A and B are shown apart, each in its own frame.
Chain A
């Protein structure tokens, strides 16, 4: 353990700068990773507060707190901030912190660009949030920004579009950096097929990001010119087509959801073997399944558009291709269960969140298969059924894995053990409340409640009330998460280098001391 880390001792002048300059001019992957994670955590609470405004208004029928326009701004901003401000930066944070340590690299391949991509993210996030205070309010046409409705946005439209550009540039830079790091910085002996699954999934995610973020940037730029420069890309009166936007958006948007879920899969594949004390089952098929899902993500986009009036051949093609996604995804779930099978499992917080992820994500997967059936989607589309579906795959899916990974690596980052008992309380509160929050939404959708409405008919009242109760419980449970993170940073039981029993066998990061020194693997480790 010490053999690989002592090399940096002579480089004390390369330690962190003092004060604010350490962060503004950071090029160290750990500092930048920390900033990404802190930013994501802040946005998690900002976006969460918006969700609570939504659930408060929907607690009872009738309008109690906000007007419909502001309600629509809340749903729109909640989604945009959660996707671009919380989940993507959280995964970028894990990648920055962990990928160099997992592949035995001293840092990211492009450390200065790394700094720039983080600070562009902050600029984009702040600009997007500032639209809340502009005349006419924040964008309120949904996170998909469909024209012609989005063109009715007030003063905030160009700011929202420019913030999307900034966020896009930031993600592309991060993706290029991660891909370059994985291809060029691996320690000798770390072949591609020896990489941890988290690194693999991020490699694929990096390519997805590079492929689709420019498409999104193009789509919103066309919105900008339609609004301000008299083009008619999406206006039938000028020869355009509003549905064209939807095709372009979802060509970005569907890979985008896999950008959120593939690193999640990687985290599950990293955590389960450690706590089952067994190697990952079917490593090769995991890699191939990831590649398969990434490929399919490019040919399923119009399943978001089964009701726009595509020809039947189109509907059938996208129905079949979407159903196919279930096969590689199924392989992953089966492999995780096979990894658990005949292991010697323990259930610390990271494993608890991961087990909940496997079950609840799969429930989201099942409703995904149901919605893939085009004639059924004619009923499910744009109802609370889809709201339940994508929150199941994103909240107890991606968000639970972000929490699992935080507990998993927090001792490595801080050198302290977190309070396991409190973390278990956080887990149980979260897993119960998230189901109280989202499960009744399946019933609401099937019974006929459309999504994105601030008020509803009285037959939907009871399930909405239950859902809101779950929402507030889930929201406030996350304060425990915040408390645990802060107290663990400030102190606590000293963590060993390995942290988790037998973890050394599962990843290079566990061969380093905790907290990980400022510079690691300055000399590459030996990989067996």
Chain B
């Protein structure tokens, strides 16, 4: 009831033209923070107003006729049914209007398409259901998925109010960080199905097609946080793979790059020590919830017919080698997690599945065992059947 009142109050405000004061009620496309996005916005408004003008004119004539040429108003029907001149006129005039529209559209299209001479190149890979960012110039590389808080709140019957979560469904664990005023070229691809990378403030979206590489570019003019989402249906969690981009000044950006590099080193070295089983299982539980629970479910029960249960599964309770092989290489719909997670996380999550989710196998696997297997995966392989 309170909500309904709110809606009517806001509708009323919008009618008064005050709606814009409230950022929550976006009625129109954002102007965005790049030159292209501004061009797109201007073009959008131009075409919109042309359409509105035509609409007012055409519907005006029609409603005039509907009002005055009624039988109940005593109007007598005339019987004309042709007029070559007027028919020619309303074929030619729309054609001219379309040409007028096409000229600026072509210009904007060509600017959008010009990916030459970039300062930085970043590869974006879409996965079910996360994004992978690869800074090709500096070697920084990470995955970006829905943040834990949204992920918890979004579950069916979670009991958490979406409004209580900051940036519900539009927040990630690891945002993409870009320097401002640099031409950044994106190479877009996907590892499983088609995704589409879209940040409205940048003025475009582009599909990530598995096996192919698309490109696009952006030069952000204003530091800030910009949010977007996957725009191409990519399976059940399509609605849960947001994009967050933080645009920073050059110096801050470089500092961030250094932090990321140091973090990667620390993670790599964690694989070189012995882990206790309790430590593995604790870490594995986190990794499981972030990477596995969306298909195999938080309790490991899976979804019958689509995603197999892990609780009591013959693979998970069977020989260790078998499970390690499937987790690393994938099978069917399951992606190759060897390409996504580091040795410590893989060892942890495998250990967790064997000792959690109501499984009690008792054994575990050390990161040191996984590490050479990962290294072998990056070597070209002769034998497809492994």
Interface residues of A (CB under 8 A from B): 60-64, 66-69, 72, 134-137, 140-142, 146, 148-149, 152, 154-155, 235-237, 241-243, 276-285, 307-309, 312, 315-316, 319-320, 323-324, 326-327, 330-331, 333-335, 337-347, 355, 358-359, 362-363, 366-367, 369-370, 373-376, 378-379, 381-383, 443, 446-448, 450-459, 461-462, 465-466
Q: Judging by beta carbons under 8 Å apart, are B51 and A148 in contact?
A: no
* Cβ of B54 under 8 Å from chain A: yes
- Measured CA separation A363–B52 after assembly (Å): 9
B168 to chain A: which residues have CB within 8 Å? 61, 457-458
* CB <8 Å contact, B154 and A455: yes
**Which of these, A146, A326, A453, contacts B239 with CB under 8 Å?**
A453
B55 sits at the interface (CB 8 A): yes
> Which residues of the partner chain B approach A362 to less than 8 Å between Cβ atoms?
55, 58-59
Q: Smallest Cβ distance from B40 to chain A, in angstroms?
A: 6
For the complex with contacts A68-B237, A72-B235, 10 further pairs of A-B residues with Cβ separation under 8 Å are A61-B162, A72-B238, A134-B305, A140-B235, A309-B212, A320-B102, A327-B91, A330-B91, A448-B30, A455-B240
Tell me whether B132 is interfacial, beta carbon within 8 Å. no
> A424: shortest Cβ distance to chain B, in Å?
14
* A312-B109, A331-B90 given; A459·B55 CB < 8 A: no
How far does the Cβ of B252 sit from chain A's closest Cβ, in whole Å? 26
Note all chain B residues with C-beta closer than 8 A to A155. 305
Let me know if A148 and B192 touch, CB within 8 A: yes
A384–chain B nearest beta-carbon distance, Å:
11
Shortest CB distance A411–B (Å): 19
Q: Nearest chain-B residue to A455 (Cβ)?
A: B239
Q: Which residues of B pack against A, CB within 8 Å?
A: 3, 6-7, 10-11, 23-30, 39-40, 43-44, 47-48, 51, 54-55, 58-59, 61-62, 65-66, 69-72, 75-83, 86-87, 90-91, 94-95, 98, 101-102, 105-106, 108-110, 112-113, 153-158, 160-163, 167-170, 188, 192-194, 196, 198, 200, 203-207, 209-212, 214-215, 228-240, 303-306, 333
Instruction: Report the bound CA distance from A508 to B232 in whole Å.
Output: 49
Q: Which residue of A lies closest to B76 (CB)?
A: A344
Cross-chain contact B102 with A323 (CB below 8 angstroms): yes
Contact A359 B59 (CB under 8 A): yes
Hey, which chain B residues are within 8 Å of A344, CB to CB?
69-71, 75-77
Q: Please report the C-alpha to C-alpha distance between residue A282 and residue B113 in the assembled complex, in whole angstroms.
A: 43
Determine the chain B residues whose CB is within 8 A of the CB of A462 once the complex forms. Answer: 6-7, 10, 24-25
Q: Which residues of B contact A347 (CB under 8 A)?
A: 70
Which residues of chain A are near B82, meaning CB under 8 Å? 281-284
Q: With a CB–CB cut-off of 8 A, which chain B residues contact A279? A: 79, 81
Q: Which residues of A contact B62 (CB under 8 A)?
A: 337, 340, 355, 358-359
- Let me know if A450 and B198 touch, CB within 8 A: yes
Q: List 10 A-B contacts (CB under 8 A).
A: A283-B82, A307-B204, A307-B207, A327-B95, A355-B62, A379-B203, A382-B233, A447-B27, A447-B200, A462-B7
Taking a contact as CB atoms under 8 Å apart, the answer to whether B155 and A63 are in contact is yes
B47 to chain A: which residues have CB within 8 Å? Answer: 369-370, 373, 376
The answer to whether A319 and B87 have CB atoms under 8 Å apart is: no
Please name all residues of chain A whose beta carbon is closer than 8 Å to the beta carbon of B11 when the two chains form the complex.
466
- The 8 Å CB contact of B200, one of A69, A149, A285, A448, is A448
Q: How far is the CA of A459 from the CA of B102 in the complex (A)?
A: 33
Beta-carbon contact of A63 and B212 below 8 Å: no
B163 to chain A, nearest CB (A): 5
Q: Are A457 and B170 in contact (CB under 8 A)?
A: yes
Q: Are A452 and B69 in contact, CB atoms less than 8 angstroms apart?
A: no
Query: Contacts A62-B154, A67-B236, A459-B24 hold; do A342 and B170 have CB atoms under 8 A apart?
Result: no
Closest chain-A Cβ to B39's Cβ sits at a distance in Å of: 8
**Complex contact A330–B94 (CB within 8 A):** yes
How far does the Cβ of B101 sit from chain A's closest Cβ, in whole Å?
7
A62 close to B158 (CB less than 8 A): yes
Tell whether, in the assembled complex, residue A281 and residue B81 are in contact, meaning their CB atoms are under 8 Å apart: yes
Residues of B within 8 A of A278 (CB): 77-81
Chain B neighbourhood of A450, CB < 8 A: 198, 229-231, 238-239
Q: Whole-angstrom distance between the alpha carbons of A45 and B343 in the complex?
A: 53
**Nearest-Cβ distance from residue A292 to partner chain B, whole angstroms:** 10
The residue in B6, B7, B193 that gathers the most chain A C-beta atoms within 10 A of its C-beta is B193
> Which one of A370, A454, A458 contacts B51 once the chains associate, using CB atoms below 8 Å?
A370
Q: Which residues of A contact B90 (CB under 8 A)?
A: 330-331, 334
Q: Which of B91, B200, B212, B215 contacts A241 (CB 8 A)?
A: B212
What residues of A have a CB within 8 angstroms of the CB of B206 in the complex? Answer: 307, 309, 378
Residues of chain A contacted by B78 (CB below 8 angstroms): 278, 342-343
Complex Cα distance A456/B209, Å?
Answer: 24
- In the complex, what's the smallest C-beta–C-beta distance from A140 to chain B, in angstroms? 7
B77 A446 Cβ-Cβ under 8 A: no
With A63-B154, A148-B193, A343-B69 as known contacts, state yes or no: A455 contacts B207, CB within 8 Å: no
Report B188 CB to chain A, min CB distance, Å.
8
Q: In whole Å, how far is A273's beta carbon from the nearest beta carbon of chain B? A: 9
**Central interface residue in B91, B196, B233, B305, by most chain A CB within 10 Å:** B233
B237 — nearest CB in chain A belongs to which residue? A68
Contact check, B43 vs A373: say whether CB atoms are below 8 A apart.
Answer: yes
Q: Is the CB of B94 within 8 A of A154?
A: no
A184 CB, nearest partner CB in chain B, Å:
29
Chain A residues lying within 8 Å of B239, measured Cβ to Cβ, are 68, 450, 452-456
Q: A382-B231, A459-B26 are in contact. Are A375 and B43 (CB under 8 A)?
A: yes
State how many angstroms separate the Cβ of B100 from the closest Cβ of chain A: 11
- Measured CB to CB, the nearest residue on chain B to A319 is B105
In whole angstroms, what is the CA distance A334 to B59 when docked?
Answer: 10
Are A152 and B98 within 8 A (Cβ)? no
CB contacts (< 8 Å) of B155 on chain A: these are 63
Cα A143 to Cα B325 in complex, Å, equals 36
Residues in B neighbouring A369, C-beta threshold 8 A? 47, 51, 98, 101
The reply to whether B305 and A154 contact each other, CB–CB distance below 8 Å, is yes
Q: How far is the CB of A487 from chain B (nearest CB, A)?
A: 27
- How many Å lie between the Cα of A137 and that of B306 in the bound state? 9
Measured CB to CB, the nearest residue on chain B to A363 is B55
CB distance from A502 to the nearest CB of B (A): 9
Is there contact, CB below 8 Å, between B69 and A341? yes
- Residues on B with C-beta less than 8 A from A243 are 209, 212
B4: nearest chain-A partner, CB-CB: A465
